């Protein structure tokens, strides 16, 4: 009888101990669980914050490292005063300031330009017709100087001498000299250019051009993209025998718009020295004396080589 009582007493105590343990432990665990379900995402929000911080830190670090590397490269990179830029190109036609120079024939041309850090440059180009009437097209040699007036403005002057197989191959073939002055301004990836050209010859024939050009310079990897838009005004006094349309008298004097154009210059860098180039343009050339078509498209493709020494 006493043994049964002791057993029942022990069972009662064991049950009470177990119930107390449950009542004590349950509240302890319930305090660890968030009352607001949104609080469960505190860790994920922290991870997102860390991702942002890491991204920003890496961007700053990479930028600083890149700038530091560029500074080191500039310090150890040897500076060369001379630059020789040479190339070969193929174009479907040549139109200069609204004047059809190639008679709607394709051209294969080669050219080179030597420039110095001091601002002087000398260039030479030669071309040959490759269309329905193949033959020599002509050449030009130029000597110029460019002065950097400030970080955003360049001033330049240039003299160009043209040579053609005959003075009737195009309307301006008999006016072989051209003097040019220009001002080029740079601002926020844009380039604004204002150029005055005066062509003159041994007689009283002259052609004046005033052109305004805007270009936007962008780069995507090794590809450089430069949209271009320009307008050219002209005033010319030229022998009527040179014009594409028969005019009365010996000299013709006309003023007006010579050309408007829009297009894009593309350059892909194969290496530091070699690049592929392409320049598609759409032109409006209203002067019938110089060009038979009002609207025409030109396309130039080529390869260029840059040598510094």
Residue 65 has pLDDT above 50, yes or no: no
Task: Average the pLDDT over each of 4-18, 19-33, 159-173, 179-193 and give the range with the smallest value.
Answer: 19-33
Residue spans of beta strands (DSSP E) within 149-294: 153-163, 177-187, 190-200, 206-216, 218-220, 223-239, 251-269, 274-284
Place of tokens 């392409």: 278
Mean pLDDT of the chain: 80
- Give 215-270 pLDDT, tens digit per residue: 998 999 999 999 999 999 999 999 888 888 888 888 889 899 999 999 999 999 99
What proportions of the chain, in percent to the nearest 5, are helix, strand and coil?
A: 25, 50, 25
pLDDT tens digits, residue range 128-143? 999 788 999 999 999 9
Segments in 41-103 forming alpha helices (H): 42-76
Share of the chain above pLDDT 70, in %: 75
What's the pLDDT tens digit per position in 12-34? 544 444 444 433 333 333 334 33
Among 132, 133, 129, 101, CA closest to 244 = 101
**CA gap 134, 147 in Å, rounded:** 40
Nearest CA-CA partner of 231 in 211, 214, 208: 211
CA 175 – CA 207 distance, rounded (Å): 8
Please, which pLDDT band fits residue 69 given cuts at 50, 70 and 90? very low
Residues in a beta bridge with 148:
154
Tens of pLDDT along 72-100? 445 545 688 999 999 999 999 999 999 99
| Per-residue confidence (pLDDT) for residue 77, from 0 to 100 | 58
Q: Is the whole-model pTM more than 0.75?
A: no
CA-to-CA dists, residue 50 to 55, 58, 82, 245, angstroms: 8, 12, 50, 74
Write b or e for each residue in 145-183: b if 16 or more Cβ atoms lie within 10 A of its Cβ, otherwise e.
Answer: ebeeeeeeebebebebebebeebebbbbbbbbebebebe
pLDDT for the residue 27: 38
DSSP state of 130: -
């Amino acid at each position: 009888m006493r043994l049964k009582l002791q057993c029942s007493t022990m069972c009662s105590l064991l049950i009470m101990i177990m119930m107390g343990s449950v009542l004590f432990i349950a509240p302890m665990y319930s305090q660890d669980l968030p009352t607001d379900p949104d609080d469960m995402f505190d860790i994920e929000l922290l991870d997102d914050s860390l991702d942002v911080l890491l991204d920003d830190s890496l961007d700053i670090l990479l930028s600083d490292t890149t700038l530091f590397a560029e500074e080191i490269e500039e310090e150890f990179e040897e500076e060369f005063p001379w630059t020789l830029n040479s190339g070969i190109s193929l174009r479907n036609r040549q139109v200069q300031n609204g004047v059809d120079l190639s008679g709607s024939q394709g051209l294969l041309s080669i050219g080179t330009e030597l420039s110095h850090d001091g601002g002087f440059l000398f260039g030479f180009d030669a071309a040959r017709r490759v269309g329905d009437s193949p033959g020599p097209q002509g050449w030009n040699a130029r000597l110029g100087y460019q002065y950097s007036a400030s970080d955003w403005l360049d001033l330049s002057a240039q003299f160009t001498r043209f040579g053609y197989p005959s003075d009737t191959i195009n309307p301006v073939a008999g006016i072989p000299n051209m003097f040019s002055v220009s001002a080029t301004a740079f601002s926020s990836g844009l380039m604004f250019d204002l150029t005055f050209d005066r062509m003159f010859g041994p007689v009283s024939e002259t052609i004046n051009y005033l052109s305004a050009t805007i270009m936007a310079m962008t780069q995507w990897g090794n590809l450089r993209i430069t949209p271009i838009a320009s307008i050219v005004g002209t005033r010319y006094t030229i022998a009527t025998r040179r014009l594409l349309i028969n005019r009365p008298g010996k000299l013709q004097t006309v003023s007006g718009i010579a050309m408007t154009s829009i297009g894009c210059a593309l350059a892909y860098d194969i290496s530091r020295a070699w690049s592929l180039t392409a320049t598609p343009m759409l032109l409006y050339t209203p002067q019938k004396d110089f060009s038979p078509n009002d609207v025409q498209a030109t396309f130039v493709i080529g390869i260029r080589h840059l040598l510094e020494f």
